[in-house]
Amino acid sequence: MKFGGTSVGTIERIKAVADQVKAVVDAGHQVAVVVSAMSGTTNQLVQWTREAGAMHDAREYDVVVSSGEQVTVGLLAIALQNIGVEARSWLGWQVAMHTDNIHGGARIESIDTEAMLARLEQGQVAVMAGFQGVAEDNRITTLGRGGSDTSAVALAAALGADRCDIYTDVDGVYTTDPRIVPKATKLDKITFEEMLELASNGAKVLQTRSVAMAMRHGVKLQVLSSFEDLPGTMVVNEDEIMEKNSVSGIAYSVDEAKVTLVGLDDKPGVAANVFSTLADNNVNVDMIVQTAASAPGKTDITFSVNGAELDRASTVLQGIKDELNYNDLLTSEDVCKVSVVGMAMRSQPGVARTMFSTLAEKGINIEVISTSEIKISVLIGREYTELAVRSLHTAFGLDSES
């Protein structure tokens, strides 16, 4: 059972979580719980590391930002003990959750489960701190923001758990963000592949890495509410779903920025030069289009990057302006990526047509397009985000009846 920040945001909430854990223990299960820090805590801790020193050592950043989870595991263990449930807290190094030494974004390498399994056998609930691990040199690491979902899935895989239940402040995975489309519908089931596309294209419900890990290790994943006792959404293999819709969900991300290089030489090696320079500087490029420019022998390349990486991208490209011989570098942050995702689009024609004609009817211009086997993404003006998501939701027949 994994509980996120809002689920353990107050002492009252932590007591409510203890009751939920007790109910599962009483039903005869062995339970390992993974918790996040209280909501808002990690942001505050990150802020403090910045204030203490803009150029700080990432090892010390991890010492500070991992501390939020130390508080919640202790509090939840106390709350459980107080209602008669045997429980013990586990920090990352105590488990141990071994990671590499990429501080602030560490990857899990292995998990020692022997000690925890022995305690579970004795009927003790294990309450593990999410988001943190330990590197080979014994320093504390963190897994990157939102990392406690990944901690939970990794622990479930290592323990050979029957299921990994992610309790959160929404009651499942919806066809799109219910805050902007009130007619969004809760899905009973979704495939790992679809969940991965939705998460990596802006759906906030699960950390992308946790879904990839669940898929790799075959961990049965359920997303459900920690506030209401309702069935959630099961993330499952494709053969467990009878598909109906060509599109299962729509995601959007305003975390995007667009870069256009105008008037590049149209000759072999130019794109290679652009994108290897960006890669060397750790800029992740997402969507790409190349078009013929008005002048002969010239071409334009437009691509999208994460908003936070825009400055870096434009600085490095300006640095090689002479080498690349382009006319102009244009950037914009007023963009949004909207993606429609569905396994069934592999076998159902017409998804692109529906998507593009719906946007055209609303007068929304498409700036960049990219596709995968089960997804079509478009980059559009940010002011059209809600309109686009809402009209696509209707066009693909996803609106709820009520």
Interaction between residue 3 and ligand ASP (CB under 6 A): no
Q: Say how many C-beta atoms besides its own lie within 10 A of residue 50's C-beta.
A: 11
Question: What would the two tokens of residue 210 be?
Answer: 């946790």
Q: Say how many C-beta atoms besides its own lie within 10 A of residue 312's C-beta.
A: 15
The only residue of 15, 29, 145, 382 in contact with ligand ASP, by rule CB under 6 A: 145
Interaction between residue 201 and ligand ASP (CB under 6 A): no
If the CB atoms of residues 4 and 9 are measured against Mg ion, the closer one turns out to be: 4
- CA 44/CA 338 separation, integer angstroms: 31
Q: Say how many C-beta atoms besides its own lie within 10 A of residue 343's C-beta.
A: 22
Residue 6 CB, nearest approach to ligand ASP (Å)? 10
Interaction between residue 148 and ligand ASP (CB under 6 A): yes
Residue 235 CB, nearest approach to ligand ASP (Å)? 17
Binding site for Mg ion (CB under 5 A): 4, 146
Interaction between residue 232 and ligand ASP (CB under 6 A): no
Q: Site residues for ligand ASP, window 66-125 (CB under 6 A)?
A: 68
- CA 185/CA 42 separation, integer angstroms: 31
- CA 335/CA 307 separation, integer angstroms: 10
Question: What would the two tokens of residue 17 be?
Answer: 């979580």
If the CB atoms of residues 56 and 346 are measured against ligand ASP, the closer one turns out to be: 56
- CA 338/CA 369 separation, integer angstroms: 10
**Cα→Cα distances 285→258, 274, 385, Å:** 10, 11, 21
Question: How many residues are listed for the chain in this entry?
Answer: 402
- CA 236/CA 81 separation, integer angstroms: 34
Interaction between residue 61 and ligand ASP (CB under 6 A): no
Query: For residue 386, which of 367, 369, 370, 362 has the smallest C-alpha distance?
Result: 362
Interaction between residue 130 and ligand ASP (CB under 6 A): yes
If the CB atoms of residues 15 and 145 are measured against ligand ASP, the closer one turns out to be: 145
Residue 146 CB, nearest approach to ligand ASP (Å)? 4
**Cα→Cα distances 160→163, 349, 398, Å:** 9, 40, 35
Residues in a beta bridge with 243: none
If the CB atoms of residues 36 and 141 are measured against ligand ASP, the closer one turns out to be: 36
Residue 4 CB, nearest approach to Mg ion (Å)? 4
Q: x/- string (CB under 6 A) for ligand ASP, residues 378-397?
A: --------------------
Select the binding partner of residue 37 from Mg ion, ligand ASP, none (C-beta < 5 to 8 A, by kind). Answer: ligand ASP
If the CB atoms of residues 142 and 175 are measured against ligand ASP, the closer one turns out to be: 142
Total site size for ligand ASP, rule CB under 6 A: 13
Residues that bind ligand ASP (CB under 6 A): 4-5, 36-37, 42, 68, 130-131, 145-149
